[in-house]
Chain A
Amino acid sequence: MYSDLLQALPAVVGFSNFAAVVIGVLAGIVVGAMPGLSATMAISVLVPFTFGLEPLVALGLMAGIYNGAMYGGAIPAVLLRIPGTPAAVATTFDGYPMAQKGEGGFALQVAVVSSAIGGIASAFALMLLAPPLSKVTLLFGPSEVFWVAVFGLASIIFLLGGNPVKGLISACFGVFVSVIGSDPIYGNDRFTFGQLEMLDGISIVILLVGLYALPPVIDLLETPLKTDGIESSQLGTEPIWKAIPRMKGFWKTWLRSSVFGIWIGILPGAGGSMAAFMSYNEARRNSKHPERWGEGEPEGVAASETANNADTASALIPALTLGIPGTAVAAVMLGGLLVHGLQPGPMLFRENPGIVFGFMWQFLFGAILLILLGGSLATNSFARLLILPRPLLGSVIIVLMLIGVYSIHGRMFDVYLMLGFGAIGWVMDKLKFPLPPVVLGLILGGFAEENLRLALRIGRGDWGVLFQNTTSLVLVALTVAVVVGPIVKRRLTDRRKQSGM
């Protein structure tokens, strides 16, 4: 089972495949460091351009970008208190106060080392868990996959944080988009308005480019944010080998946050920002000096940055084995796999072991490369990038989006569709509707419908088919736990408050 992993190694260290990871990491750091540009966006803009590339070059770029962007977000978070990506919000809590104290350089070094550790842990999780899981997923028939999808939809509840109603509306919008096209069993048209181009449903890549790339670009163009940045002399950087000994007390946080990030990556629904918040809170609860948090506690940066890199590779565990992505970024990557004719599922590991396992190595290398490429010197230059003229950047991205989306099927229809979703995304953004539930609703909604109907056909109309085996029952129990758990918890805390009065 794991021998394929070693056999895939030589291909990955080949020049072009390795260069792809290096370029990906660098590009990712840049993308992450630009407030408004996110990993999801960068990869969805990139996917259409990877048609003509070797699969491992394309996937290497993606793995590199994902890892790089998750660290890159920390740069403006520390220097300007502007999170470069949503996943870096928790990094601002202590990163920025550190920078004000002249510890900005150390904060970024903590961020880069933590990011690398989180990414490495995540890559190992993918390598260890995906192969055995892919053997098991053969046992997942339509009824089991239906429950996995329902469980994923239920996990969206986690994402609803601030405003559950808006989150649910977002998710429902995604589920609605999933029913557009010919229905999965009979092929009847639904909401296609007689357009042949709509028969296959809405391509996830088109939706993502529109939803995730257009609104931030419009923002880039309308708010020419002045970022004078912090002078590199103020960073107070010391060589990384001197900085690392100062982090020796962090190992508990690294371990805990890695586990958190990996777990949240695997769960369909939640992504980097969720992982970072939860792990920050946990690390703070377990800290000897919780009062120092928010005042410039390096461990806070470590907790946030470890977790947001630890959900990268692990998000591909359900994606590669079942076709259900753990995060929005993984969803785009699935699109990238499909572009190269790689069907996720148990067969993928058998038919394309070189590519799947190569991809896993690329995640590992991407994480390790962070230390080399995200070091102090590089970080100083990245910090300068924040001064790039935004209109130029915005225009370049728009052009790339248009060319990329056009090239997917070679038709303008898709471009208009993407612009339409972009407009919707921009409005949602302005009205503070969360975007990840839309993506998950689209993917999981489609999965749930198709597999429910297949299961009912297999059971010849008997709903009992959905509860026939242990796997299904376990998934039902998990789903119930996800929905009921938070409610019970709230009841208990309320009761405790009352008795304490």
Chain B
Amino acid sequence: MLHFIRTITIAGSVALAAGAAFAQDHPDKPIEVIVGYSAGGGTDVMARTTAPFIEKYLGDGASIVVKNMPGASGQIGVTEVATADPDGYTLGTFNLPGMMARTIDREADYDQDSFTYLANVVNDPNVIVTTKGGGLDSIDKLIEEAKANPGAVTVGMSSLGGDDHFMLIKLQQLTGAEFTIVPFKGSAPARTALMGGHVAMGILNISEVAEFQEELNVLGVATEERSDFAPDLPTFKEQGVDLINGSMRGFVAPAGLPEDVRAKLLDAFEQLEGDAEFQEAMKATANPVEVVTGDAFKALTGDLYDLARGVWEETPWN
């Protein structure tokens, strides 16, 4: 029994130490990055992949510790960041449009002015996919069908009030077609339902379908230019539908950072874009990179808030 207990205790301490796997050999305290999702999820992987590069650009043996505070679709973590000390030792991941939508569809203890905007790092653009053998193998056919039979096309996606949902709203506004939303708990079950032919169409992100091009028709990608991630996939723009939308993930700090700290952090994040090694690491972890820093990132957040607000006024989702 004691042997068993010892094993478990060691396993436990290993698990606890795994969160702090960075060397802490410098006098300043480590910088904590709060991730509002579980370890191993998309946002967590993005944060852990980015962290060593930020350490490098901050220099002085800076160390970053990632802390997962999952729950309430990211709201617990982001609230923690918004209410933390603005001393530059607490940063957090920030998801768009989700974090802004949460201020609209729920009671939230933060708003868009609660943060110092450092950098958006990832833009995982939306894609529209349809089931193989369903006959809807082009965006034109899809729109035609949805117009001819309003609501007949079922759309699998992850929960309401996220990027998938706003993408569909944009599609409906652009084309005047009508679809039936089927919100699953996350993208994986939505994709599985598509593969089984239980829904006719799906809105997912490019990183989620890159490996599934044999089982699903990918009709297009919602970006301005073709994505480096899957350059063979056409954009909607090329096909005459002006759809741009995606899931953004980046980093924020609490509002009111001292100016010099803010400048130092921003400088580090600005250097990510030109780092080939960083680009490679992100590609390997299925993270399409799009770096937007500082004020531009803040403006982007404002735009997405307005989009979410607009959708909510027209068609509240709860």
Give me the interface of A with B, judged by CB distance under 8 Å: 23, 26-27, 30, 46, 48-53, 138-142, 182, 184-189, 194, 196-197, 199-200, 340-341, 343, 345-347, 385, 388, 393, 396, 400, 403-404, 407, 409-411, 450, 454, 457-458, 460
Q: A410 to B195, alpha carbons, bound, how many Å?
A: 36
Residue among B8, B18, B195 with the highest chain A CB neighbour number at 10 A: B8
A345 with B192: in contact, given A185-B183, A196-B75, A396-B5 (CB under 8 Å)?
A: yes
The reply on B67 being an interface residue by CB < 8 A is yes
Q: Could you tell me if A346 and B192 are in contact, using CB atoms closer than 8 angstroms?
A: yes
**A23 CB to closest chain B CB, in angstroms?**
6
Contact B105 A340 (CB under 8 A): no
Chain B residues near A138 (CB-CB < 8 A) = 192, 195-196
B100 located at the interface, meaning its Cβ lies under 8 Å from any Cβ of chain A in the complex: no
Between A52, A407, A450, the greatest number of chain B beta carbons within 10 A of the residue's beta carbon is seen for A52
- B54-75 CB contacts (< 8 Å) to partner A: 67-73, 75
Query: How far apart are the CA atoms of A341 and B73 in the complex, in Å?
Result: 16
A23 to B182, CA, bound (A): 45
Could you say which residues of chain B place their CB within 8 Å of the CB of A30? 1, 4
Q: How far is the CA of A458 from the CA of B196 in the complex (A)?
A: 13
Residue numbers of B with Cβ under 8 A of A are 1, 3-5, 7-8, 11-12, 14-18, 38-41, 67-73, 75-76, 79, 105-107, 151, 154, 159-161, 180-185, 188-189, 191-193, 195-199, 317-318
User: When the two chains form their complex, are residues B11 and A49 in contact, meaning their CB atoms are under 8 A apart?
Assistant: yes
Max chain B C-beta neighbours (<10 A), residue from A139, A189, A450, A458: A458
B75 proximity list for chain A (CB < 8 A): 196, 199
Counted as pairs of residues, one from A and one from B, with CB atoms less than 8 Å apart, the total is 121
Q: Are B17 and A52 in contact (CB under 8 A)?
A: yes
The CA of A189 and the CA of B40, in the complex, are separated in Å by: 26
Asked if B68 and A187 sit within 8 Å, CB to CB, the answer is no
Contacting pair B39 A51 (CB below 8 A): yes
Residues on B with C-beta less than 8 A from A50 are 11, 15
In the complex the two chains form, is A52's CB within 8 Å of B14's CB? Answer: yes
Cross-chain contact A188 with B318 (CB below 8 angstroms): yes
Which chain A residues border B160 with CB–CB below 8 Å?
Answer: 185-187
On chain B, the residues within 8 Å of A51 by CB distance are 15, 18, 39
Q: Select A411's contact among B1, B16, B69, B159, beta carbons within 8 Å.
A: B69
Write the chain B residue with the least CB distance to A198.
B72
Chain A CB within 10 Å, residue with most, of B69, B107, B198: B198
- Bound form: Cα–Cα A275–B105 in Å: 48
Interface SS of chain B: mixed
A460:B151 contact, CB within 8 angstroms: yes
Asked if B72 contacts A23 (CB within 8 A), the reply is no
How far does the alpha carbon of A27 sit from the alpha carbon of B3 in the complex, in Å?
9
| Complex Cα spacing A186 to B14, Å | 39
Q: List 25 A-B contacts (CB under 8 A).
A: A27-B4, A30-B1, A50-B15, A52-B14, A141-B193, A141-B197, A142-B193, A186-B160, A186-B318, A187-B160, A196-B79, A197-B76, A199-B71, A200-B71, A341-B38, A341-B39, A343-B189, A346-B195, A347-B192, A400-B8, A400-B12, A409-B70, A457-B154, A457-B182, A458-B154
**Could you say which residues of chain B place their CB within 8 Å of the CB of A346?**
192, 195-196
- CB of B107 within 8 A of CB of A53, answer no
Q: Known pairs A186-B318, A196-B71. 19 more at Cβ < 8 A? A: A23-B7, A46-B8, A49-B11, A49-B12, A50-B11, A51-B39, A52-B14, A141-B198, A188-B318, A189-B106, A197-B71, A199-B72, A385-B1, A388-B1, A396-B5, A407-B12, A407-B15, A454-B182, A457-B180
Question: Is there an interface contact between B15 and A53, defined as CB atoms closer than 8 Å?
Answer: yes
What's the minimum C-beta distance from B214 to chain A, rounded to whole angstroms? 12
A145 to chain B, nearest CB (A): 10
Task: List the B side residues contacting A450 at CB < 8 Å.
Answer: 185
B14, B75, B151, B183 — most chain A CB neighbours (10 Å): B183
Judge whether B198 and A341 touch: CB under 8 Å. no
A340 to B318, CA, bound (A): 31
Bound-state CA distance A188–B160 (Å) is: 11
Chain B residue nearest in CB terms to A388: B1
A340, B159: Cα distance in complex, Å: 22
The interface residues of chain B lying within 8 Å CB-to-CB of A457 are 154, 180-182
How many angstroms between the C-alpha atoms of A49 and B192 in the bound complex?
Answer: 30
A190 to chain B, nearest CB (A): 11
Min distance, Cβ A188 to any Cβ of chain B, angstroms:
5
